[in-house]
Amino acid sequence: MLATLLVVLPIFALILAGWLARRTGLLGPQATGELNRFVVYLALPALLFDVMANAAWSQIWQPGFIAAFGLSSLAMLGLTVVWRRAEGRPLPDAAIDGLNAGYPNTGFMGFPVALVALGHEALAPTTIAVILTVCLVFAGAIVLIEAGLRAGAGGRALVGRVAGALARNPLLLAPLAGGLYGASGLGVPGPAETFLKLLGGAASPCALVALGLFLAQARGAPAGRGTTAILVGLKLVAHPVLTWALGRALGLPPVLLHTAVLMAALPTGTGPFMLAEFYRREAAVTADTILLSTILSVATVSAYLALAA
């Protein structure tokens, strides 16, 4: 448990930094949106391009792992969207709730937790989990959000508007461009790689500070506690259990199985909050889900590691 706590402490520290900056007036009420726009338009696209451009496909092509982790993540996204739509939530908001249940914090927590718990041989499948999370699950939610926002159009018009919006979205263009560049075999030049590392490295810290800024805002009485509790349960319990079941059914070797389950057991990442702020959707439940799942993951991830051992 101590090892897990040490990994999540920097996350709490960055959220606290944002909270204190807003409470003390160091940053004003517009800071949350502006910092989030920096992440969405600059930092995160640089990170996504860098990850895809430098991906060693010969090493990370693990069909069983991809199926177990990818399908379980998409299933959590899809099932949550169906549930929230049945409750009357608009599709964009339901898609963000789906991310709360199926978007683990692989980028910020995945590598240190995997290294401590499973060793260096878990780093390659962790890279796969990061790519699947940001390029499959995240992209799927964006498609649903764009479709929901343009639901008034019919047939071909709807398809055209959604396709046009997706073609202008930096969070989809960046990994696509990075993958195509990586496939060319040219390699990223040194200065460009340094630029991408510097800019992309700001994505997770800035997103966490923006989350702290949001949490510091006066929001009135807490709302959606029941929904938050269910989303946290789906993320910390249902997601890893489903991943474990799929991994066992596919006959994954122990290292790949435990890495897949460990990645699924991680708390909700900042992706849902970034999209909620970017598309100006209700973000209170998302912020609470990220915070609560991160706190509780200290116990749940530690419990899984004890069982796996």
User: What pLDDT does 79 receive?
Assistant: 97
CATH fit for domain 2-9+31-217+226-308, picks 3.40.1110.10, 1.20.1530.20, 1.10.10.60, 2.115.10.20: 1.20.1530.20
Question: Which residue from 150, 151, 129, 138 is spatially nearest to 77, judged by alpha carbons?
Answer: 138
User: What pLDDT does 176 receive?
Assistant: 86
Residue 177 has pLDDT above 60, yes or no: yes
User: What pLDDT does 221 receive?
Assistant: 52
d(CA 300, CA 295): 10
| pLDDT band per the 50, 70, 90 thresholds, residue 156 | low
| pLDDT band per the 50, 70, 90 thresholds, residue 158 | low
pLDDT tens digit string along 102-112? 999 887 788 88
Ordered alpha helix ranges (H), the chain:
2-23, 31-38, 44-53, 57-60, 63-86, 91-102, 111-118, 123-132, 138-149, 155-167, 170-184, 190-200, 203-215, 225-233, 239-249, 254-265, 271-278, 284-308
User: What pLDDT does 246 receive?
Assistant: 97
Q: Based on the number of CB atoms within 10 Å of its own CB, is 198 exposed (0-12), middle (13-18) or buried (19 or more)?
A: exposed
pLDDT tens digit string along 25-58? 999 988 988 998 898 899 988 988 988 888 777 7
Residue 278 has pLDDT above 90, yes or no: no
Q: Could you tell me if 206 and 43 are in contact, meaning their C-beta atoms sit under 8 angstroms apart?
A: yes
Q: Could you tell me if 38 and 280 are in contact, meaning their C-beta atoms sit under 8 angstroms apart?
A: no
Residue 220 has pLDDT above 60, yes or no: no
Query: Mean pLDDT, the chain, as a whole number?
Result: 87
pLDDT tens digit string along 72-102? 999 999 999 999 999 999 999 999 999 999 9
What pTM was computed for the model? 0.83
d(CA 116, CA 109): 11
Q: Could you tell me if 113 and 123 are in contact, meaning their C-beta atoms sit under 8 angstroms apart?
A: no
